[in-house]
Amino acid sequence: MATQYLKRASKTPETETATAQKVVNEMLHEIETRGEAAVREYAKKLDKWDGDIIMTPAQIDQGIKDVPASVKADIEFAAQQVYDFALAQRRSLEDFSTELYPGVTAGQRVIPVNVVGCYAPAGRYAHIASAYMGVATAKAAGVKSIIACSSPFRGGGMHPYVLYAFKAAGADTIMTLGGVQAIATMAYGLFTGKPADVVVGPGNKFVAEAKRTLFGKVGIDVFAGPSEVAVIADETADPYIVASDLVGQAEHGHESPAWLFTTSKALADEVMGLVPKLIEDLPPTARDAAYCAWRDYGEVVLCDTREEVVEVSDRYASEHLEVHTADLDWWLANLTCYGSLFLGEETTVAFGDKASGPNHVLPTKGAARYSGGLSVHKFVKTLTWQKMTRDAAKRIGEVTARISRLEGMEAHARTADDRLRKYFPNETFDRGEPVQV
């Protein structure tokens, strides 16, 4: 396969994993052992926060009192888009029952989990959109108790717009806590007495590792760490728009990969020329992040054919994937690994990040090979049930007894025997040879 790296990264999304895991394991051990006291210590040490953890209604009102009406309107619009998309997802999931064999009825119920924890990051930027991405989706799923956490913003309390977004989307409890200590608090039910059944939300490498480590004790949405973007572009693409979209996501942080996969050398050359200029033109926080991200993680891959591009792109399984090419339907039909797909120049990752509707909490580090992003599905359980008539137990009971004995499981077999004997005392059945060992 003829692929050529016109720019190769010195780091991969896995580069920082081991360091983060070490920090997270130590913190989780401390929090598991010493509980709320350890959480308060980390909040003070890492985020300079020693105020209340759970916000009272009066503190919430005070925190949002100066949010301008126009900001409220934008947040409400975007939160509604996310809620409506999630509600459409919820409606696509149906309870059903079916007769599998005469007299054997089985079905599924789709029901929400009881308690969820939603995290919205606020280290480098105030992630207003992440606040409604989690909470509005949990609300659409029908979750009764939604606990929301975001870190104190730059040494102060919770950012007022993040707070407003939590409240507008319908959070029941709001806590001023960031990072590992927030994720652990929600998972263990510290301060609230309500351990979350599922903890969701994006975050930096520490947040993502904390969720990964706690998975099992608590459900999680997906490994949603430092943002990634990939753009697929052919000779029909606009190099300026492509470069702008790569830089648009590289501003997330030092560890945010931006990848270009293309069949056009001319386009690749133009984009590589433009990206540093666009980065140079950014304000300081964004410039610093995007500069390091492009330097360490940026890649440009040139392929001969679009089939090769699909292969490369599926291997990277980027969190966000934009396609700027002719024949968009072909790409939609052929690409299989991405967190969310943005087809055509008219849409862009930022639209999905903030306001279009499909969720922006998405898989990173290759997790898109096996999972999509946050959706209503992550907040519901598909539970199965069954019942049967006595007549149906005849056939099912016989097969069960025989298979149980073939497995060496005599006690299982006897539960079937008992029923056959009780319901059909005058009949004989082939129930297999009793297990002797």
Q: Which residues of 26-55 are buried (b: 16+ CB within 10 A; e: fewer)?
A: ebbebbeeeeeebbbebbeebbebeeebeb
- Which residue in 195, 253, 298, 366 binds ligand NAI (CB under 6 A)? 253
- Which residue in 127, 205, 254, 394 binds ligand 3SL (CB under 6 A)? 127
Task: Please say whether the beta carbons of 205 and 184 come within 8 A.
Answer: no
Locate 111 and state its tokens. Answer: 């029901």
**Scanning residues 254 to 273, which ones bind ligand 3SL (CB under 6 A)?**
none
Minimum CB–partner distance for residue 376 and Zn ion (Å): 22
Whole-angstrom Cα distance, residue 70 to residue 309? 43
Locate 197 and state its tokens. Answer: 């059944």
- CB nearer to ligand 3SL: give 30 or 319: 319
**Scanning residues 208 to 237, which ones bind ligand 3SL (CB under 6 A)?**
227
User: What value, to the nearest 5°, has the Cα angle with vertex 381 and ends 166 and 98?
Assistant: 140
- Which residue in 353, 374, 375, 377 binds ligand 3SL (CB under 6 A)? 353
Total site size for ligand 3SL, rule CB under 6 A? 11
Locate 185 and state its tokens. Answer: 């608090």
- CB nearer to ligand 3SL: give 362 or 416: 362
Binding-site string for ligand NAI from residue 110 to residue 149, where x marks contact by CB under 6 A and - marks none: -----------xxxxx-x--x-------------------
Whole-angstrom Cα distance, residue 417 to residue 394? 10
Minimum CB–partner distance for residue 310 and ligand NAI (Å): 23
Q: Of 146-154, 208-216, 289-297, 345-353, which part binds Zn ion (CB under 5 A)?
A: 345-353
Minimum CB–partner distance for residue 160 and ligand NAI (Å): 16
Length of the chain: 437
3-state secondary structure of 113: coil
Cα 232 to Cα 67, 261, 285, 321: the distances in Å are 39, 5, 27, 7
Q: Decide if 252 is catalytic.
A: no
129 binds ligand 3SL (CB under 6 A): yes
- Which residue in 112, 117, 179, 248 binds ligand NAI (CB under 6 A)? 179
- CB nearer to ligand 3SL: give 124 or 402: 124
Antiparallel, parallel or unpaired: β 115-120 and 198-200: parallel
Nearest residue to Zn ion by CB is 353
Q: Of 174-182, 186-194, 307-315, 415-423, which part binds ligand NAI (CB under 6 A)?
A: 174-182
Minimum CB–partner distance for residue 127 and ligand NAI (Å): 6
Locate 169 and state its tokens. Answer: 């989307």
13 binds ligand NAI (CB under 6 A): no
Backbone angles phi, psi at 218, to 5 degrees: -140, 150
What is residue 292's DSSP assignment? H
Backbone angles phi, psi at 50, to 5 degrees: -125, 20
Q: Of 37-45, 54-62, 125-133, 257-265, which part binds ligand 3SL (CB under 6 A)?
A: 125-133
Task: Please say whether the beta carbons of 222 and 244 come within 8 A.
Answer: no
- CB nearer to ligand 3SL: give 129 or 310: 129
Q: Which residues contact 183 (CB under 8 A, 6 or more apart)?
A: 117, 119, 149, 199, 203, 207, 210, 211, 214
Q: Decide if 319 is catalytic.
A: yes
206 binds ligand NAI (CB under 6 A): yes
The residues facing 303 across adjacent strands are: 3
Task: Please say whether the beta carbons of 231 and 260 come within 8 A.
Answer: yes
23 binds ligand NAI (CB under 6 A): yes
Whole-angstrom Cα distance, residue 232 to residue 321? 7
Quick one: how many helices (H) and strands (E) in the chain?
16, 14
Task: Please say whether the beta carbons of 299 and 5 come within 8 A.
Answer: yes
75 binds ligand 3SL (CB under 6 A): no
251 binds Zn ion (CB under 5 A): no
Locate 178 and state its tokens. Answer: 């960031």
Q: Of 231-239, 287-295, 353-361, 385-393, which part binds ligand 3SL (CB under 6 A)?
A: 353-361
- Which residue in 90, 139, 360, 394 binds ligand NAI (CB under 6 A)? 360
Catalytic residue among 254, 320, 360, 377: 320
Antiparallel, parallel or unpaired: β 104-112 and 96-101: antiparallel
353 binds Zn ion (CB under 5 A): yes
Residues forming contacts to Zn ion in the complex (CB under 5 A) are 353
Active site residues: 319-320
Chain residues binding ligand 3SL by CB under 6 A are 127, 129-130, 202, 227, 249, 319, 353-354, 360, 362
Residues that bind ligand NAI (CB under 6 A): 23, 46-47, 121-125, 127, 130, 151, 178-180, 202-204, 206-207, 224-227, 252-253, 256, 319, 360-362, 364
